[in-house]
Amino acid sequence: MRGLKKGSLSQQRDKIESIVYPVLFGVLIMILWQTGVLHKMLNTDDYILPYPDKIVGIISDNSDMIMVNVWASVEVALCGLFLGSLIGYIIAIAATSFPTYGTGGLTIVSAFNAVPIVALAPVIINWTKDVSSVAEERSMVAKILVVTVTSMASMSVNAYRGLTELPPFSDDLMKTYAAGRLTEFVKLRLPNSVPYIFTALRVSVPGSVIGALVSEYFAEYIVGVGRQIRENILIAQYATAWAYIIVACMIGIMLYAMLMIAEAVFLRKRR
């Protein structure tokens, strides 16, 4: 009993430390940044690396315009994440149902994932230039496709593990009950794959944000956080560019936090 209490206390301490230490490190960086120590360490000036209070002021003064670009980037990231995860899971089901041929799909998807986003985005944007006569629609389709491709591999590989790495003897037990393939999938394989789905999303959610931002660099339609970072750097408005960089970080953190909350809710019984 005492050992269980010690183990529980140790787990709670580890959880607290996993939050406190990163927060303290972030606070330390902000203090060094605001006091100018970071500028001396990096040998730069406050024009290229503006002080945090100036960046916060820019975000506050331009909140309406920033939110327009934030929603554009979030829409691309979430749509691409959903499509990529769905296609990846379907590929995992195919690989599970037809091992001889389906595993080849996993290999192809993994190969796509190995292509850098900066190389993939311009190619996809050129492929989709005839999708619509409206630049906004062409850009949206291209950006969503970039995120879709980058999100497929993680989901397909992890979902395949969840669909195939079953608890010992569970598959034999289903066969003993004369369960059909559909019943086996719904009652055994699908529930077993849920934790693996969240494992995949832990990789895909930050990746979808990065994919959306990078694809916006090359898109025709000038909208989105990534595009605003590029445009402001080109005209040497570094303070505004840093404001959008901070906003991009906040998008990734908030989406990841929402994923952690969803995971805690869906998997609380398993824990």
Q: What is the pLDDT of residue 105?
A: 75
Same-domain pairing of 123 and 20: no
**Closest by alpha carbon to 207, among 252, 143, 157, 237?**
252
Residue 271, domain member (yes or no): no
How is 160-203 classified by DSSP, letter by letter? HHHHHSPPTTHHHHHHHTT--HHHHIIIIIHHHHHHHHHHHHHH
Same-domain pairing of 249 and 174: yes
Residue 7, domain member (yes or no): no
DSSP secondary structure letter of residue 220 = S
What is the span of the domain harbouring residue 207? 59-266
Domains in the chain, number: 2
Same-domain pairing of 34 and 162: no
Q: What is the pLDDT of residue 101?
A: 73
Q: Tokens 């824990």 belong to which residue?
A: 271
Residue 31, domain member (yes or no): yes
Residue 219, domain member (yes or no): yes
Residue 51, domain member (yes or no): no
- Domain of 106, CATH number, reads 1.10.3720.10
Residue 6, domain member (yes or no): no
Q: What is the pLDDT of residue 82?
A: 95
With a CB cutoff of 8 Å and minimum separation 6, the contacts of 199 are 158
Residue 177, domain member (yes or no): yes
Query: Which parts of the chain have pLDDT scores under 70?
Result: 1-9, 171-172, 174, 177-179, 270-271
Q: Which stretches of the chain are DSSP H helices?
A: 2-34, 37-42, 52-61, 63-97, 99-113, 117-127, 135-164, 170-176, 181-184, 190-218, 225-234, 238-266
Same-domain pairing of 22 and 75: no
Same-domain pairing of 116 and 145: yes
| Tens digits of residue pLDDT in 54-66 | 999 999 888 889 9
- Write out the two tokens for 183: 């019943």
Q: What is the pLDDT of residue 7?
A: 59
Q: What is the pLDDT of residue 9?
A: 66
Q: What is the pLDDT of residue 136?
A: 80
Residue 53, domain member (yes or no): no
